[in-house]
Structure formats: structure tokens, C-alpha cells
Structure 1
Amino acid sequence: MKFSKLSLFVLLLSGSFHFAQNQKFSIAEAVNGLRSNLAVKNISQFSWSDDNKYFYQSAKNSYLKTEISTLRQDTLVSLHQLNKDLSPENRLKTIPKITFVSDDKGYYAQNSKYFRIERSGKDWKVNEWIVLDDNAENAEVLSNNQGIVYTVKNNLFLNKNGKVTAITTDQDENIINGKAVHQQEFGINKGIFISPDQSKIAFYRMDQTMVGDYPIIDWSVTPAVNKNIKYPMAGTPSHHVTLGVYDLKTNTKNFLNIEGDPEQYLTSITWNPDSKSIFVGVLNRDQNDMKMNQYNASTGNFIKKLFEEQSDKYVEPQHPLLFLPNSKTDFIWQSQRTGYNHLFHYNTEKGLIAQLTKGNWLVTDIVGFNEKKKEIVYVSTQESPLEQHLYKLDWTNYKTQRLDQGAGIHSGILSKDGTYLYDTYSSDNVPRRVNLINTHTLKTKNILNSENPLKNYQRPIIKNVTLKAEDGTQLFGKIILPIDFNAEKKYPVIVYLYNGPHAQLITDSFPASGNLWYEYMAQKGYIVFTMDGRGSSNRGLKFEQAIFRNAGEVEMKDQLKGVDYLKSLPYVDADKLGIHGWSYGGFMTTCFMLKNPDIFKVAVAGGPVIDWNMYEIMYTERYMDSPQNNPEGYKKANLLDKVQNLKGHLLMIHGAQDNVVVWQHSLKFLKAAVDHSVQLDYFVYPVHEHNVLGKDRVHLMQKVTDYFDEYLMK
């Protein structure tokens, strides 16, 4: 056989390409690689300049400044420039995260010290600004650069250019000020809310003296030390939350006069742009009735109710009001009232003006505004439940237009005037691409096209799967086939699942598998299957609320559709099926082993909910109602009286300091197993909370892998 020079070159090239892709993942790379040596290149600390002509990003030893029109890049401030003004004890080893309050001023924090920086000619001056208590947390900087509000233990403080004022002085450590409340449900991620004019500070005050103590033991010291936390379990007394307002000018504080059950939830805290009033979403404990109320910030008195949302299942506010630019009356409210999260235009005097977005898809984020063009830039699943794209919406005529290009998961940062959009996205085969988009012309400039860090590794075949639930609902999944897949062979299968609220496993993002550990297992000869059943996120209320009052029932039926699909494949060994999940997925894994004990031979359940009576109030009572109102649902979901059904091999894993799904869940399951003479395997991570992270996660996933190798591969 004769070869032309071209064909010989192609043969040699393909041979070297095959060799280049022959590398296998180590367990460390499979677990933490995408956060370490296999991380996808990214732009760090991106921000727009005030004049909308430049953008900033941090590099190893500097912040860079890039001109949008030409993409010409220059150093904005360097590590050397910062260190020139600093004393030896304050000198920096790497460039800090700088918050630029203007193009020539900013600040950064180093431990408990805050430093101001200011451009001086071609150089920068650095001055120590404020030193906080070493135990300071939750710091919020006043945007007029005059001070910092923060918490120390359970109280709230203001440091105004070195002068410290105690805003609260509660002696009981179980009365907490200025921190996130309600177990950080309802989109709550902070407890300090500074008024637009910087004259007042609103803050959460949570009284949890009526909530029972729960022990969390620190086993890393000898003797072990107990630290009680307040953990309100479903059906038990809940904490009482109020909202305080501190006036910086008068050094006085008052509390809003919010009527109703003291166990109700206060959400969506929003200052009126005039700084004279505050809007609060008042949600009843049953979570099926929310009133959006307005209160006078100075007197605390109720002004009026703007609107009310009710449901026969639950109302779940997740966002504050978002006022239109330079308006004190018009705002955007995100609501699921139509079955999907959409945008509604309200006026504080006239009420509802219009529903701005409509359809069987949902808005996932509001990126910002272009005031001049009367446009809102937002992210939605309009193209596909597996994708997220950027759109602009004219809030006067409701016309929408997609801004980005390329399938996948997009997110954006809008320039201050709304003219330019920083668009970063990935898809199954695009590790990361970053574009600058002119929101008017839609002209795009690519500023980053990341190389595939996995290009030299053996990658499995990954196929998208669409199945149907019993009611005809589409269910999206993925099947990852073993390396060197041979359709004539039969392979063991691992099903990975979560299938609980606020989580979506299947998206069009990088890597296509969704998890390098799946690919690691494929390299070892496993098929891996994962699917989002009803109850999962980003599919609308009907999809999510299908589990209401019956956790573990509808999800089980949907996952069984996945099992049926797997068993229909000639290359699946139906006698060698394994299942793995964590948290809600750990609950589902254990459910399968006890309610359908003949399907899976091997299971690993991590941090599992075993009895919903022992999980926190806000989450549990939203999806399960209260134990008093839904005793049958709680009984069906309780796994303690079903342990005797276990047939296969079950490894249960828990963090000993877990303050989310408390350790007692799996300990009670162990006791039930002993009582029924049922054998199972068990492992505890003594220094970890709900998730095992960092280097110890490699140990965790090696243990999971070894368990499947021992009982499923052989």
C-alpha cells in the first residue's frame, strides 16, 4: 500500500492526537481539577469604568485597564505601586480585590484592616482607613466612603472613620442583629441594608430564644467541645424576626411596626429610592400568603399594602423590588404567579402596570438597565430549559431581543449606562468564551476564548437523553459511556441524582458530562446516568411543586423512568446498578434502597435527610407543609421504619459538624438498623459540615469509588 505525503502527514497527526488524548484523570483531578490544574481560564475581578469607556480586571500583580473601542490594554494599578506606600507589616504579596468607587479611587480589605487608594498623577497613594474588630463579619461599606457597618458576634456596629458606635447592645447571644435570617431561605443572603442616601441602616433582628438548642460537637479538640446552635425543626417553635432602622444623623433607632404572627417571615427587603420608606415582603409561616407592605423608615409605621400573592401550595419570594433608574415610584417585581418566574412592572401609587415577560420559560436574573433606551437586560431560559441567554426588553412597548450568540449558559455584567454587556458563557463543547456586546448594535468583540484544559485526556461519549414522566412531562438526562465503549459488552451503571428543589444537574455547560468524577468512573469501565426529575429547578412551578407534601414519591417515579431506560439498553448489566447522591440526593438514594430494594445492588448516600421532622422549618414546611397538617406525608417520607427493607450494599456518609442535615439523621438510621439486625456500612468526616470540601473531598470520592469497585464492578 502506497501513501501520499499528505495522507502520511494525516496518519502521523492522528497518531499523535490519539497519544495526546491518552491521559487519564487522577482521582484528585476528577474531584478538584476544575478548581486547580484543570481550571478553565477566566477573567478575574471584572468591572466597568465610570465613563463606560474601559473595563478593569485583575492579574497576578496588577489591575489592568482595557479600552473598549480598541481593546488596548494598560496597567491601572500595580502591586509595586501599592506596596511603595505601605509599612512592612501591611505589604501585600498579591494584588488584593479592589473595589473602585471611581476611576481614580477605591478601597480594599486586608484581614480586619481597610485601605483607601487614590491616584496621584501616574502613581497611587495608599492610606490605612479603618481597622475593624478581629471578629468583625458581614461588613458593608457606606458608598459615600464614610464608614463601615458590620457585626461582631450578635451585635451591629458602625465604624465611621475610626469612631465606633454600637448600634445594638443585646446581651443575650440568641438575639442576633445584622445577619441573614430564616436559615438564608427566600433569597436572603445578608442582614444589613443601607439606604440609598446613606443616612439610615436597616437591619434584621432575630430573636431565637424560643428555639430549642441543638448540639454541634467539635471533635478536633480533646476533650471534645459542644457548641449549641439554634435549629428550628419542622413543626416546632420558630424564631421571631423584626426589622430595625438606625439613623446615622440622629444616632437613634426604631423598629418597623410589622403586625402578624411573630413566626412569620420577612423577605425582599427594599429601600424606597427616596430613603424615606422600606418595603417588606411579609410571608406567613404556612408560606402560602405574602403581603408586600410599605413602612415609614423614621416612625416604623405601616403605610400601605402594595399587593398580595397567595397559593394553594406555597409562595416563595426570592428577590427584592428593583426600581427603574431615577424613579421613586416604578419598580420591577419577579414573581412565579403565572407558573414561571417573570417580570412585572409596578407603580407604588397605581399598582400593577404590566406583565413584562410571558411564556412557558422563566427569568433567572436581571442584569441591569439602559435608562436612555428604557431597556431591561435579563437572563432567561426562553430558548431551552437547558440553556440561559441574555435579552433586552423595552419596558415601554415590551419588545424583547436576544443579545448573545452561541448555545449554552450565559451570564452578564452590564456597563453603568447599559451600552455594553460583558457576556461570559460555556456549553457542552465550549469551555468559556467572553464577549463584549454593544447592546444597541449587537456588535460583538471576543476578549477571551479559553482553551479546553481537558484536551489531552481520554473523554467518554456523552449523550443527551430525553424521557417522559407518567404525565408526559419531558425529563432531561445524560448518559456517560465508558472509555473504549463496546456495544457488545455489558457494563455496570452508577446513577447520580439530586432531584430536589433549587438544583439542576442537566444543563448545556462545560464539561458536557457535568462532573469529571463521572468521566473518571467512565474511564474505569462504568456507565454513569443522571437526570433531573420533577421537583428540580428551572422548569416552572408545576414541575417543582409536583413533590408538594410528598417528598420522595413523584421523584422516585421519574427516576424509575430512567431505570427503565437503562434496562432497555443491551449494553447495561441490569444486575449491576448503583446509585449515589448527597443531601436531598442522599435522601433519594436511601429511599430507593428501602422503597424499591430490588433495583440497585449498591448505594452511597451522603448527608441524607432520613426524617423530615428533623429538618429546618423554612425549607421543610414549604415543600412538605407542617407535620401537624401533613402527618401522612411525613410518615411516607420517614425512612426510619423502612430500614428492614434493605437488601443491597449501602454506604452512608455524614459530616460530624453538619448543621444543615444534622448528624442525628444518619445516627438514628444506624440505631434503626441495629434494632432490626440490618447491616450497612458507615463513614463519618469528623471536621466537616454538610459538604466535604477541599483536599478531604478527594478522600471522600475515593471512598465512594472504592465502594462501587468492591460491590459493583466485581
Structure 2
Amino acid sequence: MKITKLFFGITLFVSSITIAQNKSFTLNEIWGGAFSTEGFQSLHSLKNGTQYSVLERDKASGASNINIYDYKTGEKTKTLVSSSSIDGLASFQGYTFSKDENRILLSSELEQIYRRSSRGIFHIYDVPTQGIFKVSDKKIQSPLLSPDGNKIAYVLDNNLFMLNFVTGQEVQLTDDGKKNEIINGITDWVYEEEFSFVRAFDWSADSNKIAFLRFDERDVPEFSMDVYGKELYQKQDVFKYPKAGEKNAKVSLFVADLSAMTSDEIKLGDYKDFYIPRIKWTANPDVLSVQVMNRHQNNLDLVFVDAKTKAPKIVLNEKDEAYVDITDNLTFLEDNSFIWTSEKDGYNHIYHYAATGKLINQVTTGNWEVTQYYGYDIKNKKIFYQSVENGSVNRDVYAIGLDGKGKKRLSKKEGTNDAEFSADFSSYISYFSNATTPYEFTLNNGANGEVVREIKNNKALLDNLKGYDVRPKEFSTIQVNGETLNMWTIKPKDFDPKKKYPLFMYQYSGPGSQSVANTWHRANDYWYMMLAQQGYIVVCVDGRGTGLKGAKFKKATQNDLGNLEVQDQIAAAKQLGALPYIDASRIGIWGWSYGGFMSSNCLFKGPDTFKMAIAVAPVTSWRFYDTIYTERYLMTPQENAKGYDDNSPINFVKGLKGKFLLVHGSADDNVHVQNTMQLVEALVQANKDFDWAIYPDKNHGIYGGNTRLHLYNKMTNFIKENL
């Protein structure tokens, strides 16, 4: 067995908090927000390049303010908009500028629908005149200002509308929208969840055309959930949810020409059973880009559509034996050449293509991954991006020439570095943290990365933590099944290698995910420290199938989810259990969602390794999960029944020996409670003892009021009683 220490940037941190380091973390504090960090809300870089705006709330009046700050001095120059001066608008939750920044779209009374979707009341604020008007008295979805700032498009009751607030003209662009049948301009449930977007329309550069998607989901099977509420009779939430192997919504593309008052369907070619995961107008107002993907998601065409002739042309094709990832990195330059990111050389990198689709050059290269694309500086012909070049658990900010030359690392500190660039890329706000440093916000020079000034830090949080027994993460690697896997460990205070400690493992393990990262604590990390304070060693290992170590490592689990990942967790547990200070008879594991699928399998398939497991909101059979996610990694059940059934926890309940806690929310629209009910039935029929809990009307996040506190109390007690 080989465990290699990666780094311990903790010496100064530990020494600085040893005084009065006695207090233990409590769940009430953790879930009451006692250790939350400060940050920015809705930061927007103004096009002048010298100022930025932030949404802030006045604590005294409760008013929402859009405040303008100077990059160089950090001084607030003015309050651009305040809800206190707007009749009938007590506050607002978000804002979006028009391209010329003369108008601002304000969102209020937002009502969450699913993970990314919401509906709300929207107002337009005119900056020059300080005038304001309400877009609609009804709650609308996904409003978007036109590039010229004179129009707005939005969705109401599954139909797409356009309002010209200069002329007062309102046009209903579609009229066939109907719940659970036809959707215009926004995505269906599965697109929203798995392709990560809701607004399914876009304005052309000249503000005269709107391209939009139409979803016909009449043939998609329905899923229903009981919503219990507090009334005498429960209600039902019924929505279209295509499970693996079932019919998807039929998606079609339209372009509405507002000058000609026409709306035409665009025939993209001889595609069958396909997805359109992205549409975006190019710099040319008559050319629309459309990404078309086959159902297996291993073939992607970038199609350019001529809005005048309606003719489609494939300009780029991506193929992969496993799958092609969808991103929002496609960027069109003034000459309609474009930036594209791809894993085609085995690692995610940036490419520059001509408008014809001919490759100009590969901008970045190396055995490391680009993790974010920030943008392109036209003046200096530089691309700014984030990558894991400095180790897969770290993130750094880089600049590089469009020609791939002159690469420069802008960030200086080891950990997680992120950036929010000014509009002219001359400066950026740096977001930095690592496992021992809470978020620091600084203004940095865009040319060399040097710190200009500090903007905000979390020293108050550090001061607060000085009174606590903080248990920092130790980062290392472990050799498992021929692979070098990233790992972190949290040990009890006064750790004694001559003693025996119980081991509690956390993992998620989903394709492309990462749980071992050199970044500041989340709420769960304080829980792990609390468990360490009570004598547990807590460990996390990122096994095969996780991300940021190249496509081969990430896609090793293709068509066989829950096999190699489970092998890695079991093997890691065995290796750690062989250490002299680990009690091999007291090893537990837990996870949420994909992690719940994993922890269930680990307990059932590794009964002699794990004493207990907790599974929260788990997938228990991929047959119950949605088409886009599941088929991306497993193909359909009709094509790969073995991949679905050989690793379903439902089929391995006879292996259960240890203690098992199963938790789900009854209103989980993502991983349906059906998963838990089927597993419960299998456990009952196998006559296996287990514990379980259902949280009424709670979704996949299982939160609201005291729900999280209750859940973590339950899990903590289960660990203390059974490990």
C-alpha cells in the first residue's frame, strides 16, 4: 500500500488557532449559518472597464440596491437603482443590464420551479430617464432583453412573447403552448436538469430575429408525486419525465423574423431521435449556430443556419467512443471565427476555428484540463481561462495568446483561484480559497496577475474559528487498482498513531465529478470536523470515473456505472483498514444521490469491509433515472441491460450484513422516491433489517426550516450508534 502526502499547507494555520482551540462544532451552528463566508451577489463588470455593479441589501430599510464601485479605489461611486425609490417594488432579487447598459431588467417575487427554473415579476428600469415599468402583471419565465435594449422576449404559459417597449407593440409568437404537451422557448424537465439550461431562445445580433426551441412532449410518459401539504386531501404534481429507454420530447427549431412577422421551422437535416442542447446566434445576425447531438450523445454536429435561406450547414463534428460534453464555451469573434473546447486529444482544451469550421489552431495543450473559459480580449488577442495545470486538486487562472503562445499563470497562491474579469480584461476580481484560507477577494492586474488591492476577506470567520477545534484536511494520494487516486483525511485532535480509530468515508463518485479539491470548507466539512472531534477519522477518495484527470480516467466507467467506482471505494477502505491506527472492523461510508447509489452498493457488495452505510436520495436502479444523463453513460436499457442491472443495489440486498440508513424526500423530482421504495421492498422481501426516513414534500436537496438540521442529527446519531 502506498499513500503519498501531496501537501500540508497547514502549519501556520494550525499554530495560529491553537489558542483557546477547545470548542466543538455543533449541528445547530453548522446549519444555522454560523460559519458562512462573505461574498458578492450578482457582480457585473460595466462596459467602461473601470467600474462594476453589485446587488446589495440595505440592512436598515431592507431595500435592494444596485451599487456601482470603482475597480481601482474600491470606493462606491453611486447607487444606480434602489427599490426604495420605486413605487410598488419593495425589493428585487436579481438584475440584468441591456448590452448598452441603458436599461436594467429587475426580477422580484421569484418562485422556484425546478433546479434552475423559476417564474417571477419583472420590471424594466430605464437608466437615462430613471423611468420604470412592469413587463407583465403575471409571473413570467426567462425574460431576455434584445441586444439593442428596446425589446424583451419571455415565456408565459409555455408560449413565447415579444414586447417592444419603445413602440408598445406586444407580439405573441406562439399559441400552442400547453402544460405537459407543448413548450415554446423554455426547456422541458430533462433538458433543464441534464443540459443545464432553461431559456431555449436567443436574439440575433441585430435584434430583429428570435430563434427558439419547441418541445412536443405529448408522447413522453408522465411521472406523478403526491404533495401532502396541510390540507385534508393531498395534491398531485404530474409532469413529463422520460426515464432511460423511454420516449423523449420531440424538439424542433424555429426562427421568428420580427420585421417580416414570420415564424419558420428550420429543418436541420436527416436527424432521428436527437437533441438540440444549445442554440446561439453568431456575430453575423443572419447566421444561427445550432448544436445537434444523437441520442447516444457520442456524435455532435455544430450546424450553422442561414436565417435568410433557412439552409443548414455542418461546420464542425465531434465524435467520442463514450460521449461528448456540452459546454457554454462557444464564443464567436468579430470575423465569426470561434472558440471551442474539446476533449478530443484526451484532455479538455481550447481550440480556435475559422467561420468555415476549419481548425486554425489548438490554443492550449498538455496533460491537464481547462476547467473554465473566461473570455477573449480582442484588443490584446488573449484568451483567459482556468485550469488544473498545477495539480488536479487545484485551480489557477491563466492568460494565453489566441495563437497559443505567451501563456502566463496569473494566479500566485496554491488552492482554488477563480476570476471575474472587467469588460476590457485589464483587471479582474480574484476569488481565492484553499483548505485553510476562507475566500479572499482582491483586485488583480489582468496583464500580470499582481494584486492591486484587497476588496473583501473572511478574517472575521477566521477569528471566530480560533475558538474551535478546527480539523484541517490532509491531502494525499492512494494507490488503488493500479491508479493514483486523490484523497483527503481529517483526523481527531491529538491523533495518536498507536491508537485505533473508526473510519468514516464520504464519496460522490459520479462521472466527471470531484470531491477532493483544495478549497475552503462547505457545511459538510464542518460536520466531518465535528465527527473527528468525536474520535472518527474521516476520509474521501475520488475513484475512477471522477473528473479533471483526463478523458480516459473519467470515462473508464462507461457502460458499467457502479462497478469500478465501487471496487475503488472497497479497495481504498481495505487499504486504509490495514493501517495500524484504523480499526478495520469499524469502517462506514455515506453519500447523497450518486453517492447514495455508491454507498448502498459498497455496503451490499463489500459486507465484510463496511460496518455501516448511509444513502441519501440514492438512485437504486438506473432504469428509474432520466434519458439524457443515464443513456450518456449506459446507453439504453434495451441495448445494455447488463449495465443497468449488474450494479443496481436492488439486486444485491442479500449481501447486507451491516447497518443501513436510507433517506429520501417524497417530492424529489430528480431522483424519484420510487428508487427508495423499490429498494425498501427488496430489503423487506430479503428479510433485512434497516433504518429509513422519508421527508414529506422535500425535493432532492432535502432542506427547508429545520429539515437539514433534523437530517444531520439523524445521520450523526446513526453513526455514533453503529460505528
What's the TM-score once normalised by structure 2's chain length? Answer: 0.89
Query: Given the alignment, which residue of 274, 280, 288 partners 1:270?
Result: 280
How far apart are the structure 1 equivalents of 2:74 and 2:626? 51
How far apart are the structure 1 equivalents of 2:215 and 2:40? 39
Offset of residue 199 of structure 1: 1.4
How far apart are the structure 1 equivalents of 2:298 and 2:153? 34
How far apart are the structure 2 equivalents of 1:183 and 1:520? 38
Query: Given the alignment, which residue of 168, 175, 195 partners 2:182?
Result: 175
Is this contact kept in 1: 2:157–2:177, CA < 8 A?
no
Is this contact kept in 2: 1:158–1:165, CA < 8 A?
yes
How do 1:42-191 and structure 2 match up within 5 A? 42-61=39-58, 62-77=65-80, 79=82, 83-84=84-85, 86-87=86-87, 89-92=88-91, 97=95, 99=97, 106-111=104-109, 112-118=121-127, 126-161=130-165, 163-173=169-179, 174-181=181-188, 182-184=190-192, 185-191=194-200
Equivalence for 1:605: 615
How far apart are the structure 2 equivalents of 1:660 and 1:438? 42
For the residue of structure 1 that corresponds to 2:712, the secondary structure is helix
Equivalence for 2:456: 448
Equivalence for 1:518: 528
Equivalence for 1:702: 713
Which stretch shifts more, 62-71 or 487-496? 62-71
How far apart are the structure 2 equivalents of 1:56 and 1:663? 42
Which stretch shifts more, 508-517 or 343-352? 508-517
Kindly provide the CA deviation profile for residues 34-59 of structure 1, in whole angstroms up to 9, marking residues without a partner as x.
xx332222233333233222333344
Kindly provide the CA deviation profile for residues 377-407 of structure 1, in whole angstroms up to 9, marking residues without a partner as x.
1111111111111111111353311112111
How far apart are the structure 2 equivalents of 1:107 and 1:613? 42
Equivalence for 1:327: 335
Q: 1:442 to 1:411 in 2, by over 3 A?
A: closer
Query: Given the alignment, which residue of 423, 437, 453 partners 1:416?
Result: 423
Offset of residue 267 of structure 1: 2.3
How far apart are the structure 2 equivalents of 1:83 and 1:436? 30
How far apart are the structure 2 equivalents of 1:564 and 1:465? 17
Kindly provide the CA deviation profile for residues 653-690 of structure 1, in whole angstroms up to 9, marking residues without a partner as x.
11111121111111111111222222221110111111
What's the TM-score once normalised by structure 1's chain length? Answer: 0.90
Is this contact kept in 1: 2:298–2:324, CA < 8 A?
yes
How far apart are the structure 1 equivalents of 2:633 and 2:34? 40
Q: 1:441 to 1:684 in 2, by over 3 A?
A: closer
How far apart are the structure 1 equivalents of 2:357 and 2:57? 52
Is this contact kept in 1: 2:510–2:594, CA < 8 A?
yes
For the residue of structure 2 that corresponds to 1:589, the secondary structure is helix
How far apart are the structure 2 equivalents of 1:596 and 1:345? 48
Offset of residue 27 of structure 1: 0.3
How do 1:397-412 and structure 2 match up within 5 A? 397-412=404-419
For the residue of structure 2 that corresponds to 1:242, the secondary structure is strand
Equivalence for 1:227: 237
Equivalence for 1:464: 475
Is this contact kept in 2: 1:48–1:55, CA < 8 A?
yes
Kindly provide the CA deviation profile for residues 127-185 of structure 1, in whole angstroms up to 9, marking residues without a partner as x.
23233242311222223222322212322222332543221111542211111344332
| Unaligned segments of structure 1, at least 5 residues | 1-13, 120-124
How far apart are the structure 1 equivalents of 2:202 and 2:405? 31
How far apart are the structure 1 equivalents of 2:100 and 2:328? 28
Q: 1:224 to 1:261 in 2, by over 3 A?
A: farther
2:27 is aligned with what amino acid?
A: I
Is this contact kept in 2: 1:506–1:532, CA < 8 A?
yes
Is this contact kept in 2: 1:369–1:417, CA < 8 A?
no
Is this contact kept in 2: 1:243–1:256, CA < 8 A?
yes
Is this contact kept in 1: 2:428–2:444, CA < 8 A?
yes
Is this contact kept in 2: 1:130–1:159, CA < 8 A?
no
How far apart are the structure 1 equivalents of 2:714 and 2:524? 20
How do 1:369-388 and structure 2 match up within 5 A? 369-388=376-395
How far apart are the structure 2 equivalents of 1:358 and 1:483? 43
Is this contact kept in 2: 1:513–1:519, CA < 8 A?
no
1:566 aligns with 2:565: no
How far apart are the structure 2 equivalents of 1:71 and 1:639? 54
Equivalence for 2:660: 650
Query: Given the alignment, which residue of 286, 295, 311 partners 2:296?
Result: 286
Q: 1:655 to 1:630 in 2, by over 3 A?
A: same
2:219 is aligned with what amino acid?
A: M
How do 1:272-671 and structure 2 match up within 5 A? 272-302=282-312, 304-319=313-328, 321-324=330-333, 326-328=334-336, 330-349=337-356, 351-445=358-452, 446-451=454-459, 452=462, 453-471=464-482, 473-511=483-521, 515-671=525-681
Kindly provide the CA deviation profile for residues 469-510 of structure 1, in whole angstroms up to 9, marking residues without a partner as x.
323x32111111123433333222211111112421111111
Which stretch shifts more, 278-287 or 133-142? 133-142
Q: 1:316 to 1:704 in 2, by over 3 A?
A: same
Equivalence for 1:4: none
For the residue of structure 1 that corresponds to 2:614, the secondary structure is strand
For the residue of structure 2 that corresponds to 1:140, the secondary structure is strand
Kindly provide the CA deviation profile for residues 230-283 of structure 1, in whole angstroms up to 9, marking residues without a partner as x.
111112222211122222222221121023344211123221211112121211
How far apart are the structure 1 equivalents of 2:66 and 2:215? 40
2:41 is aligned with what amino acid?
A: S
How far apart are the structure 2 equivalents of 1:622 and 1:249? 40
How far apart are the structure 2 equivalents of 1:188 and 1:75? 34
Which stretch shifts more, 626-635 or 127-136? 127-136
Which stretch shifts more, 353-362 or 280-289? 280-289
Identity of aligned residues (%): 29
Is this contact kept in 2: 1:241–1:262, CA < 8 A?
no
How far apart are the structure 2 equivalents of 1:499 and 1:109? 36
How far apart are the structure 2 equivalents of 1:341 and 1:648? 41
For the residue of structure 2 that corresponds to 1:435, the secondary structure is strand
For the residue of structure 2 that corresponds to 1:90, the secondary structure is coil
Is this contact kept in 1: 2:300–2:324, CA < 8 A?
yes
| Unaligned segments of structure 2, at least 5 residues | 1-13, 59-64, 110-120
CA RMSD of superposed structures (Å): 2.4
1:208 aligns with 2:213: no
Query: Greater CA radius of gyration, 1 or 2?
Result: 1
Offset of residue 702 of structure 1: 1.1
1:109 is aligned with what amino acid?
A: S
Is this contact kept in 2: 1:187–1:317, CA < 8 A?
no
How far apart are the structure 2 equivalents of 1:65 and 1:697? 36
Offset of residue 226 of structure 1: 1.7
For the residue of structure 2 that corresponds to 1:333, the secondary structure is strand
Is this contact kept in 1: 2:185–2:214, CA < 8 A?
yes
Q: 1:299 to 1:16 in 2, by over 3 A?
A: closer
How far apart are the structure 2 equivalents of 1:109 and 1:236? 37
1:509 is aligned with what amino acid?
A: T
Is this contact kept in 2: 1:273–1:327, CA < 8 A?
yes
Q: 1:565 to 1:462 in 2, by over 3 A?
A: farther
For the residue of structure 1 that corresponds to 2:244, the secondary structure is coil
Kindly provide the CA deviation profile for residues 623-670 of structure 1, in whole angstroms up to 9, marking residues without a partner as x.
112212222222211222221221111111111111211111111111
Q: 1:219 to 1:58 in 2, by over 3 A?
A: closer
Offset of residue 73 of structure 1: 4.0
How far apart are the structure 2 equivalents of 1:155 and 1:198? 19
